[in-house]
Copies of this chain bind each other. A is one copy, B any other.
Amino acid sequence: MRVRLEDVARATGVSPKTVSRVLNEEASVKESTRQKVLAAMESMNYRPSPAARGLAGRRSFLVAMLYDNNNNPASTYLAEIQDGVLDACDANRYSMMACPLRMRGQDFIRRVDALIADHEIDGVIMTPPLTDYPPLLQRLQEQGVPYASISPLHRGRAIGVCMDEQQAAEALVNHLVELGHRRIAHIVGIANHGASRWRLAGYKDALAAAGITYDAQYVAQGEFTFGSGVMAARQLFALPQRPTAIFAANDDMAAGVMWAANELGLKVPRDLSVCGFDDTPLATQLWPPLTTVRQPSREMGKLAALQLMELLRGRGTGLLVQVPYALQLRESTAAVP
């Protein structure tokens, strides 16, 4: 049958407990013993049973990736993050479960509890907007489940990973300014997303730095979706003084802007410069390809998972690490006509 820890112990001539210590990388094992045990494990192709480890040790080596599947069904952003999280888990002998979680509904907390209890989750990784949903955070704390956040809105005590989106947005808008644009519009994302606030703030910073007066007319509300980008753009195009450039808070909305421009016969970038944010695959599949900001989602997933595992190992208290952004200047932006 299966090779058990006991078999390794017998083969090595030590007690099962010692093998267990080696397996769990505990400190007080003599180096020579460690090597012997490790060698035996390797040669016998020993694989610890997660079920047994979980039962005896009261931990599952399982982390859950929580995301809100209500707004963005099957987005690339989430898929990339998941990929990164999986990477980190793999390297640390943890497993990951993907857990879509509808935020609306009375029984939200009960579903969270069920999730944690049913799978005996060791820790949680969250994406926006869950990162800043008080009932969830509170419940996790009550249950004593450690968590790491990706791009949380409130960065105070958060652990996880973030990007300086405000500065990135500022740099992007600054690029438009350098191309000679003065009437630069912005399409904001969903209100409670940190992303929306930061990108708007960066937009304002860039205008201020360029000495352009902020004009609320040029800021339209969107919802991060293609359709909302179309609507917002139509509204901006109806303005007496049409903007010469539009910075949409994400790529999907930027694609919507390009559609709306097309409807009016406006040629991008000749008549209108457009830029987005996120650098999703869509950005390079539009015509013309979209100027945007790359957010290293995969890397962010990985880093968040690593922070969580530091927590789970009891080493340190976890950090909020910051990753760099990168402007992707493509053909959807050009000098003002």
Contact = CB atoms under 8 A, between A and B. Distances in A.
Interface in A55-99: 55, 60, 69, 73-76, 78-80, 82-83, 86, 93, 95-99
Given A73-B83, A97-B95, A118 B285 contact: no
A120 B287 contact: no
Given A76-B74, A258-B287, A285-B255, A118 B47 contact: yes
A30 to B, nearest CB: 27
Nearest to A226: B285
A110 to B, nearest CB: 10
B287 A47 contact: no
Contacts of A120: 49-51
Nearest to A58: B51
A114 interface: yes
Nearest to A263: B287
Contact of A51 (B54, B75, B99): B54
B79 A74 contact: yes
Copies of this chain held together in the complex? 2
Contact of A96 (B47, B93, B97, B286): B97
A187 B258 CA distance: 27
Of the four ranges (under 10, 10 to 19, 20 to 34, 35 or more), the interface on chain A belongs to 35 or more
B284 A226 contact: yes
Contact of A55 (B51, B60, B96, B117): B51
A100 interface: yes
Contact of A282 (B78, B117, B282): B282
A82 B259 CA distance: 30
A252 interface: yes
A161 B299 CA distance: 34
Contacts of A256: 285
Closest 9 CB pairs of A and B: A51-B54, A74-B79, A51-B55, A47-B117, A74-B80, A79-B79, A255-B285, A262-B287, A226-B285
Interface of A: 47, 49-55, 60, 69, 73-76, 78-80, 82-83, 86, 93, 95-100, 114, 117-120, 226, 252, 255-256, 258-259, 262, 281-282, 284-287, 298
16 contacts: A49-B55, A50-B60, A50-B120, A51-B54, A51-B55, A51-B120, A73-B80, A74-B79, A74-B82, A74-B83, A75-B76, A75-B79, A82-B98, A226-B284, A255-B285, A262-B287
